Amino acid sequence: MKSTRAVSLLVLGLARVAWAEDDGALKTLTLQEALAELDSQSPTLVEVRSRVADARALATQARVPLVPTVVATGGYTRNSADARVDFAGTPLASLHPGALVIQPLGVWTVAGTVRVPLIIPNAWADWAAAQRAADSVAATAESARLQLRASLAQAAWAAAAAEEIVAVSERAVSVADEHRSSAARGVTAGTEAPLSVLKAETEVVKRQSDLAQARANRERSHLGLGVLLGKTEPVHVLLPPVADSETSAQVESLLAEALQSRPELVAQEAQIRAARAQMTAARLRWLPQISGSGTVFAADVPYPTGKKEGWRLSLDALWPLYDGGLASGKRTQAEAALLTARAAAEAQRLSIIQEVQDTRRDVSVSRERLRLAEQQRDLATAAAASAKRTFEAGVASSLDVLDANDKLYQADVAMADARGRLGIARVALDRALGRMR
């Protein structure tokens, strides 16, 4: 019996030492600090932001047909033969002194061209569609950011519940060890059978097993928080008190806040505007496009004008009379995209309404469960204290004490779980309302 107790105490002592060593390296952050780190270094958010940058880059590319372009060219040309006309001794000699080069044998040329779009109707609509698409991606990225922040806060509440369960388990081990000592004294005094000590020893081992599992869960929760923050070490997050004021507010006001704040609806609205712009672009493809260009050029051999440099200006018009069905196809595609975006926006709106109502209900239920858990814990505490007193007085049996202590432990665990679930439900409500920014 003494050896079993010694082994149990050794296991418990080693577990406490191991946790103390781990706790010394545990990084502690407030919730706001953790959220700030999440925004700055989360790998998931880095990936999300890269998608936004990609969408913005595509919008910049869509603007290219609307801005002037400058092109420089140069090269060397080698012909099989040259052709020249010499006007010396002719009446044209005064107009063109020297030889007129029709085709040089070899010539180096350079040129620079500036093209200025003047009227490109469909390009403006294409650019607007690309901008709205980028806005949709940005809003979707913000939605992912808020969801990740909510996940971090919920994980922190789960970790807080795990920490509380560890404290409960440590207390349960202490209570079980105290009862074992009391049972041993009863056996020595002849008021208890040796079986009561064996039962108490079994209870101690059971509570030590619960404690080991609770500590493992706590470490897993802390490590999960670290992974969310892009770290390889565990993190402890200090949580503020739970605020429950919104659950008493009218559902209509909560729905109005959610429908105004949720980035998912912003993303869907941007998709609708992008589809409309695409429809406009498809219609404008039938209009003419006008642009102007200017070119300066030079060569090491005189041109037929007799000069080695020159310039030209041009006004260009392009009117697509038949494009093989490209414009009509793009219009049909844009109409389908518009219908899809409108349906998705309505589905998103209904989903948000349901989410707000469900999370509000979850907060109310979680608060009621916490109230009942606290009441159950108070009753279990009173019952355990009564069982302990009556056992020491020789009225109650050891089994009564063990049963009362077990119910107290279960009540403590249920209260810790209920408190964590209330925090998680409150974070879910904030997320449904478009908060967590």
Is 267 in contact with 252 (CB distance < 8 Å)? no
Contact 28, 238 (CB under 8 A): yes
SS3 249: coil
Per-residue pLDDT tens over the stretch 243-269: 655 555 688 899 999 999 999 999 999
pTM of the model: 0.80
For residue 42, the model assigns a pLDDT of: 86
Kindly list the domain boundaries of the chain, sorted by start residue: 2-41+120-285+323-432, 68-119+289-321
The reported pLDDT for the residue numbered 303 is 83
- Per-residue confidence (pLDDT) for residue 226, from 0 to 100: 92
- Annotate 76-113 with b (16+ C-beta within 10 A) or e (fewer): eeeeeeeeeeeeeeeeeeeebeeebbeebeebebebeb
* Helices and strands in the chain: count of H runs, count of E runs: 9, 8
**Average pLDDT, integer, range 299-318:** 89
Selection from 123, 59, 68, 128 nearest residue 288 by Cα: 123
Phi and psi angles of residue 386, each rounded to the nearest 5 degrees, phi first? -65, -40
Report the 10 Å Cβ neighbour count for 69: 13
Residue 136 near residue 270 (C-beta atoms within 8 A): yes
Query: What mean pLDDT, rounded, does the chain reach?
Result: 87
What value does the CA radius of gyration of the chain take, rounded to a whole number of Å?
Answer: 40
2-41+120-285+323-432 domain in CATH 3.40.640.10?
no
Q: What is the pLDDT of residues 71-119, one digit of tens each?
A: 999 999 999 988 887 766 666 656 666 677 888 889 999 999 999 999 9
64 is written with which tokens?
A: 């290219």
